[in-house]
Structure 1
Amino acid sequence: MPISSKRVLAAGVAVVAAGAGLSGCRSSGAENVDDSAHPSMTIMVGGIDKVIYLPAKLAENLGYFKDSGVDVTLKTEPAGAEAENLLIANKVDGVVGFYDHSVTLQAAGKCVESVVQLAKVPGEAEVVSNDADISGPSDFDGKKLGVTSPGSSTDYLTQYLATKNGVDTSDYTTVTAGAGSDFIAAMQNDGIDAGMTTDPTIAQVEKQGLGKVLLDMRTEEGTKEALGGLYPAASLYMDCDYVEQNPETVQKVATAFVKTLQWISTHSPAQIAAEMPEDYNGGDPALYEQSIKDSMPSFTDDGVMPEGGPETVLDVLGTFNPDVEEKKDDIDLSKTYTTQFVENAG
């Protein structure tokens, strides 16, 4: 069922305007930035303090963008759907967000592709309030379910889990719960019965005794159990034309991200946390380190798309998204990602 026909509520979260804070953030568009001696790129991150997108800020803090010879400006937009819109509007050059947007956009006649696959699983969990009578997705009927925003990947996954377990998407209420303190407040104030979120929010919910993890998609095992296969999620995706016109610049950025993924795979949560901005830990360094530890299994160590992953994403989206379902047989998954740049990053 299309999102427009679903019941959607806001949990006291302000909607961020797509153009907010972007007056100095104009995409290069059709310009060939490869011609510049010091190429630059603006990347929008769908929630820069989320652990699933940690490689973006870490790459900057480790100096890997600079080492690769490219000036990268990181911006943040809390909802992945809004980040996607900014890319389509040529307001940014790339997005650190979920790979599944590449599939839904192809169904809409647009071409974007993942150039670095940061994660092989969503790195998310469905957390349930202690006051809610929910033992599985089959209990979603009549419940208020939190997502980052309508059209976000958390919304996609929630719809799939409901549909797969016999609950129509019109039978529950979608609540825009955001993440972090907004999500916590929604759960504390009975704004949601359950919700899809990431670390460090997951760890905060558990520590405060507000709820528990129902479905854990931070690991390969949990993701396969919930979705039937690996679900490649966090990625760096860009407009296909931009990639074609600026291969040297894209290569520099991809190399920086691959070096970062390799660094993550050889360092401890404490060492990783030490390289991140102090305010990302929310005043609880130990909790932040635990969040990183719990999410580390989701990351790739080479930026390569996991085998069979795109097929799982297409199957999931084709279950509830009418646009994808209608064009499922025509979608060319090979155009939704490329391994060219990560293979050349060595």
Structure 2
Amino acid sequence: MILGRKLRLLAFVLAGAAVAATGPAAAQTKVTGGVAAFNEALLPVFTARDKGWFKDEGIDLELVDFKGGGPAVQALAGGSIDVCFCAADHVIRLRARRLPAVILIGLDTFHSYALVAKADAPYKDLADLKGKRIGITAPGSLTDNTIRYSIKTLGLNPDRDFELSGAGGGAAMQAAIDSDRVGAGLAILTDIANMMRKPGAYKIVLDYRTLPYPSFAGLALESWVKSNPKAARGFARAVAKAMDALDKDPKLAEAMIAKMYPNFSPELAAEVARSAVARAPKGGIVTAESIDNLNKIVIASDDSLKPVTLEQAFDASLLKN
């Protein structure tokens, strides 16, 4: 079974406290980060934390766990967290609420979910699930937006022709699929890698994992960036430094994934590490193509929203030396 996300986050909180306790005394800016979904895209964040690179930038990073992107972005909007580790979908939604947000740094080049069902389920594609319950992580999340977009491309209504049910992520989503509480559920790529190691147990009904998309990023409100320019720049710089180190040292990536997922076998940890490094955007840069796909999917779920440009969505200046 996948280790509880809260236990994994607690382990890194304690590790970060140990680094701070042994390091030189220096003024640190506390930055609270909300984690919408624990997955391999967080690898550079935890690497920067483990290596003390946030501390070097004068940042004390505290992580808080959330059950999906919806609750995490509510915390961001309310000011209880400074950075949201979540899908960039929320840049559009927050701008519509007159709370403009930006991507500080991209963490994944592609969409990070696939629709998974038990291997013996009769569903071959999304249309076969008409009238069935589909598991999403939470309302308003990347999984919610994505499945609504796909349903609409079939000419169907996501609220009338399907039942979308918040099932959480990780072990909770897997349990919903296993118990038939959902006909299929949207699972994140790290969990899929673990689930697929059980031969003949699961199958992919619809795969989004090669679609260019800013599915995981560090988001912050523009107001926070303007009030904390040094912390915002230092945060982006520390994560970018970790991305570069992981790209150059596969063994570092494997070791960090093993820390993030202590129940993973060495073989699975190596597989996930390779995937995480390969999927990470070079230097944390977000592309125009991914923002185009972002606009298509998010606006399909709510046509009252307005598209964003790359310049509005991503503050590339933070990554410049």
TM range (shorter): 0.7 to 0.9
- Normalising by structure 2, what TM-score? 0.84
Q: Which residue of 1 aligns with 2:227?
A: 245
Query: Does residue 1:39 correspond to 2:16, yes or no?
Result: no
CA contact (8 A) 2:87 2:216 kept: yes
Number of positions where the alignment pairs a residue of Structure 1 with one of Structure 2: 295
What is the identity, as a one-letter code, of the residue corresponding to 2:255?
A: A
CA contact (8 A) 1:46 1:80 kept: yes
For 1:183, what is the secondary structure of its paired residue? helix
CA contact (8 A) 2:126 2:206 kept: no
What is the identity, as a one-letter code, of the residue corresponding to 1:316?
A: I
More deviation in 292-301 or 59-68? 292-301
CA contact (8 A) 2:40 2:257 kept: no
Query: Does residue 1:59 correspond to 2:48, yes or no?
Result: yes
CA distance in 2, matches of 1:167, 1:266: 46
Query: Does residue 1:256 correspond to 2:245, yes or no?
Result: no
For 1:158, what is the secondary structure of its paired residue? helix
Q: Which residue of 2 aligns with 1:342?
A: 319
- Which one of the candidate residues 82, 104, 117 is aligned to 1:93? 82
More deviation in 271-280 or 165-174? 271-280
Provide Cα deviations, 1:321-345, integer angstroms capped at 9, x if missing partner.
2xxx22426x55532221011123x
Provide Cα deviations, 1:251-285, integer angstroms capped at 9, x if missing partner.
111100101111222232x5313124646243534
- Which one of the candidate residues 169, 194, 201 is aligned to 2:191? 201
Q: Which residue of 2 aligns with 1:25?
A: none
Give the 3 Å change call, closer, same or farther, for CA 272–107 of structure 1 in structure 2.
same
| Identical pairs, percent | 24
Correspondences of 1:181-220 after superposition (within 5 Å): 181-208=171-198, 209-218=200-209
Q: Which residue of 2 aligns with 1:292?
A: 273
Give the 3 Å change call, closer, same or farther, for CA 315–283 of structure 1 in structure 2.
closer
Provide Cα deviations, 1:45-76, integer angstroms capped at 9, x if missing partner.
2234x113232222211221122232222222
CA contact (8 A) 2:288 2:310 kept: no
For structure 1, which runs of at least 5 residues remain unmatched after alignment? 1-15, 17-35, 224-229
Give the 3 Å change call, closer, same or farther, for CA 199–281 of structure 1 in structure 2.
farther
CA contact (8 A) 2:133 2:164 kept: yes
For structure 2, which runs of at least 5 residues remain unmatched after alignment? 1-5, 7-25
Correspondences of 1:1-346 after superposition (within 5 Å): 37-48=27-38, 50-170=39-159, 171-208=161-198, 209-218=200-209, 222-223=210-211, 230-268=212-250, 271-276=252-257, 278=259, 280-321=261-302, 325-328=303-306, 331=308, 334-344=311-321
CA contact (8 A) 1:126 1:213 kept: yes
Q: Which residue of 2 aligns with 1:31?
A: none
For 2:196, what is the secondary structure of its paired residue? helix
What is the identity, as a one-letter code, of the residue corresponding to 1:326?
A: S
What is the identity, as a one-letter code, of the residue corresponding to 1:210?
A: A
**Distance apart, 1:248 and its partner CA:** 1.1
More deviation in 233-242 or 279-288? 279-288
Give the 3 Å change call, closer, same or farther, for CA 186–138 of structure 1 in structure 2.
same
For 1:214, what is the secondary structure of its paired residue? strand
**RMSD of equivalent CA atoms:** 2.2
- Normalising by structure 1, what TM-score? 0.78
